[in-house]
C-alpha cells in the first residue's frame, strides 16, 4: 500500500474504498462510504439553474467502451480533476442519498474511477450496498 504524501492524506471515503478493495463485504467500510459526501460533476455546458432543485440531481452519464453506461462520482476535487479536467462544477451529495434514488435502468456507479482505490458498482450493487 502506498504511503500518501503529507498533504494528501486519504479521506474517510477513500480509506473505505481501500478497505473494500481488500474485503468487498466490509460492512463498516460500506457504512462509511454510504454516509460520505461525493462530488457529482455538473458539465460546464449545463444551463445555470439546471438541477438546482435540491431534491433532484441530473446524473452525468459516460459511455464506457462496450456501451456500458456509468455515472462518475468522486471523493475529492483532485480525483475529479484527474479524470474530468474539463469539469469545474459539481454538487456535493451524500452517497447514500444518491443511492437511495438510483434509477432502475442499468447504470453503474464509478467512484474515483481513475485512482488506485476506484470502485465500480452495478445498479443493483448501488441500491443494495449503499442505499442506507
Q: What is the pLDDT of residue 95?
A: 93
For 91, phi and psi rounded to 5 degrees? Answer: -115, 140
Reported confidence tier of residue 49, pLDDT bands at 50, 70, 90: low
pLDDT mean over 82-107: 89
Of 2.20.25, 3.30.1340, 1.10.3470, 3.40.1350, the CATH number of 12-45+58-130 is 3.40.1350
- The dihedrals phi and psi of 78, each to the nearest 5 degrees, come to -65, -40
Task: Average the pLDDT over 28-35 and give the result.
Answer: 94
What residue ranges do the domains of the chain occupy?
12-45+58-130
User: Is 63's pLDDT higher than 70?
Assistant: yes
Percent of the residues in the chain that have a pLDDT greater than 90, as a whole number:
45
Comparing CA positions, the residue from 118, 120, 117 lying closest to residue 4 is 117
pLDDT band at 101 (very low <50, low <70, confident <90, very high): confident
pLDDT of 54 above 70 = no
Amino acid at each position: 500500500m502506498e504511503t500518501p504524501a503529507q498533504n494528501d492524506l486519504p479521506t474517510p471515503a477513500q480509506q473505505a474504498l481501500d478497505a473494500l478493495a481488500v474485503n468487498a463485504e466490509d460492512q463498516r467500510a460500506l457504512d462509511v462510504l454510504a454516509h460520505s459526501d461525493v462530488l457529482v460533476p455538473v458539465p460546464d455546458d449545463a444551463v445555470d439553474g439546471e438541477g438546482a432543485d435540491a431534491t433532484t440531481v441530473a446524473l452525468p452519464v459516460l459511455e464506457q467502451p462496450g456501451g456500458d453506461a456509468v455515472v462518475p462520482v468522486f471523493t475529492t476535487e483532485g480525483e475529479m480533476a484527474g479524470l474530468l479536467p474539463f469539469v469545474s462544477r459539481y454538487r456535493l451529495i451524500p452517497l447514500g442519498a444518491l443511492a437511495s434514488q438510483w434509477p432502475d435502468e442499468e447504470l453503474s456507479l464509478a467512484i474515483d474511477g481513475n485512482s488506485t482505490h476506484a470502485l465500480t458498482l452495478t445498479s443493483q450493487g448501488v441500491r443494495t450496498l449503499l442505499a442506507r
